[in-house]
Amino acid sequence: MSNFILISHRQRINFKQNIFNFTLNRLIFTLSFLFALYSCTKDDDKIAFNDIPVVESYLIKNNPVSLTVSRKTPFEDNVTLSDDILDQLQIKISYNNQTRIIPSVGKGVYRDPSLKPQEGITYKLEFVFNNQLVTSSTDVPKKPVGFHQSVTVLEVQSFDFSGGFPTGPITIPEPVKLTWTNNDEGYFMVVIENTEVSPVPIRDFGDNTPPGRFFRNEPTQGKQFEIQSMSFQYYGNHRLILYHMNPEYAELYKDNGNSSQNLTNPATNVKNGLGIFTGLNADTLTLNVIKK
Amino acid sequence: MQIFKRAVFTSLMVFTVHLFAFPQLPANIILDKKYYGSLDQVLDQISLEKKVSFSFNKRRLSVIITDGNTINQPLGKLLDQWCAMNQLEWHYNSDGIISIVGKNKTPGKIAPKVEETVKKYTGKPKKFNILISGKITDSETGEAIPYATIRVKGINKGTQTNQDGYYTLQNVPTDTTTIVISSIGYKNGTLFLNPDMPKTNLNNAIEPMSFEVGEVVVSGQKDNTVLNTSGKISTMQMTPKQLVELPNIGEKDIIRVFQLMPGVSAANEGSSGLYVRGGTPDQNLILYDGFTVYHVDHLYGFYSAFNSNAVKDVQLYKGGFESKYAGRLSSVTNITGKDGNSKGFNIGGDISLLSANVYTEIPIGNKFTSLFAFRKSYKGPIYNKIFKQFNNSRQAVQRPSNGGSDGPGSGLGGGRFGSNNFTAQVSSYFYDLNTKLSYRPTDNDIISFSLFNGTDNLDNSVKIDMPSFGGGGMGIGNRSFGSDNSDLTKYGNLGTSLKWSRRWTDKFYGNNLVSYSNYYNNRDRTNNQTITDKDGNETTVKTGALENNDLKDFSFHSDYNWDVSSQNQISFGLKLTKYNINYSYSQNDTSTILNMGNKGMLFGGYLQNKFKLLDNKITIIPGIHTTYYEITGKVYAEPRISATYAANDKLKYIGAWGKYYQFANRITREDILSGSNDFWILSDDQKVPVSQAYHYITGVNYETTDYLFSVEAYYKQLAGISEYSLRFNPNPMRMGTRYEQNFYTGKGYTQGIELLAQKKVGSLTGWVSYTRAQARYQFDVYGDKYFPANQDITNEFKIIGIYKWRKLSFAATWIFATGRPYTAPEGGYAITLLDGSEKTFVAAGEKNSQRLPDYHRLDLAVNYLLKFRNDLNERGNISFSLFNVYNRENVWYKEYQIVDDQIISIDKLFLGITPNITLTLKLK
C-alpha cells in the first residue's frame, strides 16, 4: 500500500488555516516575548551621586598657596557620601622634585604661607578622596608686559536717574583705554576694584542693592580693554588688575548648560574632581575717579 | 454631547452593501421573485442574490415600504420607480456601484449617470497579453497623480504610476480587461478596455474624493483616509487634500500628520523634524521636487516649512528604502509639489490665527501650468503665544549679575535701568514661497521648474531708546549715547530644481534634474553701544556673538526606469552632489572662534532590479548604491534587498535589509541661554566619521477593503554616529589656545515593534497605533554602557478618529508617549572668581539616566464644508481646532538653578490649551 495521502479540498483549506493560525500564534507569542523582554529593562529612577571633591585654588605669583576642598551639594536627598573628612585630607603639592604637604586651617581650607609660587614652575596637586587619586597640575604664567592706561584720573559727573532724567548738560568722558602686550594669544582679564574704605556712589542707587566694588571684563585673548566711564559705580581710588591666566580659568566663564537639554559636566582641570587649580600672574595700575 | 450621540447613531445607521466580481448593468438584471419590506431590506436581499453593490443611507430607506411588485421587472426600472416616489435619485458609478441619494443633494460628487453601454465591452477579445501605458490625472485639475495604483481587476497584477503620473502595465490578459485605478484621496476609477481603443497613451482621469461622505458610504472605495500605508515596505503615503479635517495649531502641517503614525515620534512640539524609528531628523532625507531640504522648522519647530497648499503628494519611507535614495541613515521623505490646475485659473487660500496663505494656479494653453503659493505668519495670538513660550524660557535662565558685570556687553553696570522703560520689541515672522512651472511640449516630455523659499526671521532684540532731550538719542551735553541688544536669528531654505522627464518608449522612462539648495542660518546676538563725541565722531563697540552657517548643495540626478517585462523592472541612475558649507562663530566683533569651510563632492550611481515570482505573489528588489566621497577618497557600497510575499489578496509578509551611509551631518548646538542652533558639516573620517547603518525589517500586513492591520519590527545597527559640543578647550601647548569642537563618536542601535490598526472606509475612519521601541547609544566618553539616546521613546500610543456627517467632520487625536530621557544634575557647587563673585556650576549625573514625565495630549477639531446648494464644487472649509484640550502640562525640558546652596529644578512646559480657527476658500 502506498503512503500517498489524499487530502480533500476542505482539508486543504483547514490545513491552510492551521498554518495561518500557527503563524499568527507564533507571531503573538514572539511579540509577547519581546514585550516581556522590554519590560525587564526598566530604567532606574535614582540619580547616582558621584562623591568627588571640588577644588578651588589660585596660585598667584608670590602669594602664599591656599586651596579649598569642598563637596558638591547633592541634587537628591539621602545620598551616600565617602568617609573622607574635608579637613583631614593629605594634600600634596609637588614642584621641582619637591613635595609639600599643605596643612589644613579648617573648613576645608589648606594653606602654606611658606610656599609662594613662582613663574615658569609647574605645580602638581595630588590627594586621595573617595578611594581615588585626585590630581591636577598648573604653572604660573608670565607677568603681563606693557600694561598701560590712557589716563590716571577720570572725571565723572554725578547724576541721578531716580527723579527722571537730568535736564542739564552732562558730559561723558572718554573711556579709559587699557593696553598690554599679547603676542602668543594668551588669556587676560582685567578686574577693577574700588579700594576706598567708604566709597561715594556716583549716582543714586535708589532702592536697589548697591553694586559691588568689583567689576571685570571676560577673559580675552585680545590686547586691550576699554572701561566705559559709566561702568564705574563709585568715586575714589581704583586698582586695575590685569591677570595673565591659563586657559583653564578662562573656561570657568563658559556655560555648561543648566537645562536638561544641554547639561554636561562643567569644565575642570582636576582629574577625579571638579573645580580649578590654576596659576595666575598679575600687574596692577591705579586710577582715581573724581567728581567733576 | 447631543451632537456626539447623534453622530454615533448616524454612523451606525449608515449601511453599505457591497459585492464584487463583475457587476451587471441594472437594466440587465431581471428580478425573478417578489421582494417585500422596507426598501433597505429589499436592496440588501437583491444585493445578496443578484451580486449587485448598493450604496445608500439605511436610516432614510428604512422608512420606505415597497409593494413587492418586483417579479420579472428589470432592476433599473424598479429603481426609477422607487426613486421617483420618494424624492431620490440613483446613479450607477464607474465602480459598478448603485448609489441612492436624496434628490438635488449631490452629496459626495456621485458620478453622473453614464451611458451604460459605453462602459463594459461585452464582445470577444481580439488580442491577448497586451501592454497598456498612459498617464493618470485628476479629473478636476488635470494634475498628474503620482504613485497611483493600476491593477487588473480580479487578478493579482498591477503597477504604480511614477512621480510624473505615467504608468506601463504589461501582460494585461486581454484587450477587454477591466482596469482599476486607485489613489489616496481619489475615488477608484475604472477603465474598460476594448479592442478599438489605443493601448498606449491611455490616459485616464480619476475623481478626487469628496469631503462629504457622511450620507453616502461608497463600498469598496478605499483610501478614504488621510494616510495610506500603501502595502509597501515601511512606506506611508499622504495627500494633503484631507489634512483640513485633522486638528492643528494654526497650520495644516504634513509633517505633523506623519508624526501620528507608528514609528514616527509625536512628542516633539518643539521640532518639525521627523524622528523615524529612533533616528534623528537629520537622518531623514527630505526631497522636495528633487532638491534636498536641510531645515524644516518654522517658529522654533512648531511648524514645518512645507505649505500644504503647494504639495500634491508625500511619501515617507521609514526604513529599508530603495537604492535610488541614499545619503541618510534612517528614512526618506519625498515631497511632490503641485503642478497647478491645467483646466482653468484657480485661486484660494487660508487664514488662521497664525498665518495667511494664498495660492493661485494659472494654466496657459494646454501645455503650460503654473502654481504660486505664499504664506506668511502674522503676530496673531498663536504666534505670540509660541514666541513668548520660547523666549520666556530663555529669559528666565539668564543669570543675575554678581555685583560686577558677568559677561560681554554689560558695561551699563548693575541694574540701573532695571525696568522696561527703554525697551522696544521688534517684529518676528516667517514666510514661505512656492513656485512651480511645468511645460509639456509633447505627450512624452515634461519640463518643470520648482522653487521653494522659506525664511524665519526671529527677532528678540531690545533697543534702549533714551528719551530725547537736547537732540537726538540721549543727548547728554554734547555727547550722545545709544545701545541696542540684538538677538536676531534669520534662517531658511532656498531650493530650486529644473527637471526634464521623458518617456522614451512605453517601457523606458527617465528624468534628469539639476538642483540647488541653500540653507542659511545667521545669528546675531550682540550688543551695540554707540557713543558720539562732541566732534560728532561715532564710536561703536560691538560685543556678543555672531554665528553664521551657509550650506550650498549643487546636484545633478539622472534616473531611469526600464520595464523589461511585467515581472521585471530595472532602475538605474547617477547622482552628483557638490557641497560647499561654511560655518563661522565669532565673538566681540573681532575674534573669530570658529571658521570652518567644508567642500566636498559625492558621486554615485545605483542599479536596482525588481522582479516578481510565483504568479506575482513574491516581489524581490535587490539593489546597490555606490558613492565615491571626495573628502575621504573612498568608495562606499550600499547593498540592499527587500521582498514581499502576498499569501493572498489580504495578507502580505514583508522583509528588508540594507546598508546605509551618511556623509553630511547636522549638528545641533543645544543652548538654552541663547537658543539652540543647528549647522551642517561634512564627515571627514577623522573628527567626524562617515556614519553607517544596517536596517533589518520584517512585518505582516493584513488588509481588507475596510481595514488594515499591520505589524512591523525593525532593528537598526548604527556606527560612526557623532555628538557635538563646542567647548573652550585648553591647549596643552599653550600657544594658540582657542575654542575647539569636540566630536564624540560612538555606536548604537534602535529597535522596535509597530502595530497599526486602521479603518479606512466609512463615516468613521481613523487608526490606532502603538510603538514599542528603544534607541541606545554608546560613546566612550560617557563610558562603556549603552545609554538611551535623546530621542528614545519606549511606548508611544496614538489614536486618531475622524467622523463625517453631512458637511461636518469631527476629528480627535490622542497621543501618549513615554517621557524622553534626560541628564539630571547630581550636584552643584560654587567657585569664587577673581573679582570676588561666585559662579555656580551644576554637575551632570549619568548620561540620560532620567525620564521626563510621560507626554500625552488630546486634540479636537470640527470642520464645516463650505458648499452651496446646487454647486458641485466645494468652496472651502471653516475649521475649529482645540490643541491640548485638557491642558496637559507636558514637560519640554527641565532647568536647574542653584539658589541658597540648593539646586532647584524648574519644569519648562510645552503649549497648553490652544484654540485655532482656520478659514479656507477656493475658487475651484
CB-based contacts of B335, cutoff 8 Å, min separation 6: B254, B286, B287, B288, B289, B306, B311, B313, B314
Say how far residue B634 (Cα) sits from the centre of its chain: 34
CA neighbor of B402 nearest in space, from A138, A97, A213: A213
Does residue A248 sit in helix, strand or coil? helix
Any chain B CB within 8 A of the CB of A252?
yes
Give whole-number Cα distances, B256 to A221, B252, B269, B467, in Å. 46, 8, 9, 47
Partners of residue A189 in chain B, C-beta under 8 Å: 834
Which pLDDT score, from 0 to 100, does residue B741 have?
59
Amino acid at B820: R
E strand or H helix at B389: helix B381-396
Cell numbers found for residue A16: 491552510
Predicted local confidence at residue B20, as pLDDT:
35
Nearest Cα neighbor of B847 from A7, A279, A50, A33 is A50
With contact defined as beta carbons under 8 Å apart, do B660 and B750 qualify?
no
Q: Which of A259, A274, A280, A289 to mutate to test the interface with B (most CBs of B within 10 A)?
A: A259
Q: Report the half-sphere exposure of B100 (CA within 13 A, side-chain side).
A: 31
Predicted local confidence at residue B627, as pLDDT: 96
Residue of B nearest to A276 (CA): B831
Interface contact A223, partner B, CB < 8 A: no
Distance CA B716, CA B728 (A): 34
* CA–CA distance, B463 with B474 (Å, rounded to integer): 13
Q: Does A212 touch chain B (CB under 8 A)?
A: yes
Q: Which residues of A touch B897 (CB under 8 A)?
A: 258
Q: For the beta carbon of residue B245, count every other beta carbon within 10 angstroms.
A: 24
Q: Which residues of A39-55 are buried (b: 16+ CB within 10 A; e: fewer)?
A: eeeeeeeebebbbbbbb
- Whether residue B224 contacts residue B758, with contact meaning beta carbons closer than 8 Å, is answered with no
Helix (H, G, I), strand (E, B) or coil at B12: helix
The reported pLDDT for the residue numbered B908 is 81
CB contact under 8 A, B735 and A184: yes
Mean pLDDT of chain A: 80
Q: Which candidate from A185, A211, A230 shows the least CB-CB separation from B403?
A: A211
**With the C-alpha atoms ordered B235, B241, B242, B243, is the resulting torsion angle positive or negative?**
positive
Q: Which residues pair with B436 in a beta bridge?
A: B371, B450
> Which residues from chain B sit within 8 angstroms of residue A50, using beta carbons?
826, 843, 845
Query: Is B728 within 8 Å of A220 when comparing Cβ atoms?
Result: no
In chain B, where the domains are located: 373-398+423-922
Q: What would the grid cell of residue B508 be? A: 523606458
B749 vs A contacts (CB less than 8 Å)? none
Q: A260 and B895: CB-CB below 8 Å?
A: yes
Residues of A in contact with B845 (CB under 8 A): 47-50, 75
For chain B, the first-to-last Cα distance in angstroms comes to 35
Q: Does A132 touch chain B (CB under 8 A)?
A: no
Distance of alpha carbon B392 from the chain centroid: 29
Residues of chain A within CATH 2.60.40 domain(s) are 53-139
The listed CATH number (2.30.30, 2.60.40, 1.10.3210, 3.40.50) that belongs to domain A53-139: 2.60.40
Per-10-residue mean pLDDT of chain B, 924 residues long, equals 37 33 66 80 79 72 77 84 81 71 53 44 81 87 86 82 88 86 81 82 77 37 53 78 73 84 83 88 92 86 85 90 93 92 89 88 91 88 71 40 32 30 55 94 92 86 48 42 70 94 92 94 76 61 76 95 90 95 71 73 95 89 96 95 90 94 79 59 85 94 87 95 62 40 84 92 87 93 88 94 86 93 86 84 85 92 81 80 91 78 80 87 84
> Which residue in the set B413, B672, B728 is minimally distant from A261, CB to CB?
B672
C-alpha cell at B47: 444585493
- Whether B895 and A58 lie within 8 Å, measured CB to CB: no
- Do the bridges between strand A73-74 and strand B15-17 make them parallel or antiparallel, or are there none, so unpaired? unpaired
Q: Which three cell numbers stand for residue A54?
A: 571640588
A192-230, pLDDT tens digit by residue? Answer: 999 998 888 888 777 777 787 888 777 888 888 888 888
Closest CA to B230 of B758, B621, B624: B758
How many CB atoms are closer than 10 A to CB B723?
A: 18
Would the pLDDT of A43 be above 60? no
Cross-strand partners of B373: B359, B434
| 8 Å CB contact of A255 and B673 | yes
**What is the CATH code for B373-398+423-922?**
2.40.170.20
Q: Which residue in chain B is spatially nearest to A159 when comparing CA positions?
A: B476
pLDDT value at A76 more than 70: yes
Contacts of B390 in chain A (CB under 8 A): none
**Chain A positions in Cβ-Cβ contact with residue B822 (cut-off 8 Å):** 260-261, 263
CA angle B236–B240–B244, rounded 5-degree value: 125
Cα B807 from Cα B107, distance rounded (Å): 9
Q: Which of B476, B532, B483 is nearest to A203 (CA)?
A: B476
Report the C-alpha gap between B554 and B578 in whole angstroms.
5
Which residues of A fall within a CB distance of 8 Å from B731? 247
φ/ψ of residue B885, rounded to 5: -55, -45
A28 touches chain B (CB under 8 A): no
Give the dihedral sign, CA B80/B84/B85/B86. Answer: positive
Task: Give the predicted TM-score (pTM) of the model.
Answer: 0.76
Pick B844's closest partner by Cβ from A41, A76, A265: A265
Whether residues B823 and A208 touch (CB distance < 8 A) is answered with no
Query: What's the CA angle centered on B689, arms B686 and B691, to 5 degrees?
Result: 170
Asked if B412 and A230 come within 8 Å (Cβ–Cβ), the reply is: yes
Pairing of strands A236-245, A224-227: unpaired
Do B246 and B918 meet the contact criterion of CB atoms below 8 Å apart?
Answer: no
- A38 vs B903: CB contact, 8 Å cut-off? no
